[in-house]
């Protein structure tokens, strides 16, 4: 079984990282960057539309 992941990019500090979509809240929920603690909707942290679509599949 292949493990899914989504790529995230902080719009404030430009930190980029990967997370399992099952470890994240819904795409409309608030999310904070682990580096600078900027808080926005999780959808704003997705690097691409493809990452956002992958996240939505696990909601």
Q: For a pLDDT cut of 70, what percent of the chain falls above it?
A: 97
Contact call for residues 1 and 17 (beta carbons, < 8 A) = no
Residue 46 CB-density burial (10 A; 0-12 exposed, 13-18 middle, 19+ buried): buried
Contact call for residues 12 and 26 (beta carbons, < 8 A) = no
Q: Which H or E run includes 51?
A: helix 49-57
Q: For a pLDDT cut of 90, what percent of the chain falls above it?
A: 90
Please state the domain extents for the chain: 6-55
pLDDT of residue 4: 86
Token pair in block for residue 54:
């992958």
Average pLDDT in the chain: 94
pLDDT of residue 2: 60
Q: What is the per-residue pLDDT across 28-50, written as a single tens digit (0 to 9) for each?
A: 999 999 999 999 999 999 999 99
């Amino acid at each position: 079984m292949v493990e899914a992941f989504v790529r995230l990019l902080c719009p404030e500090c430009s930190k980029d990282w990967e997370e399992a979509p099952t470890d994240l809240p819904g795409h409309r929920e608030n999310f904070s960057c682990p580096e600078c603690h900027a808080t926005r909707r999780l959808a704003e942290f997705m690097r691409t539309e493809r990452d956002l679509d992958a996240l939505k599949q696990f909601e």
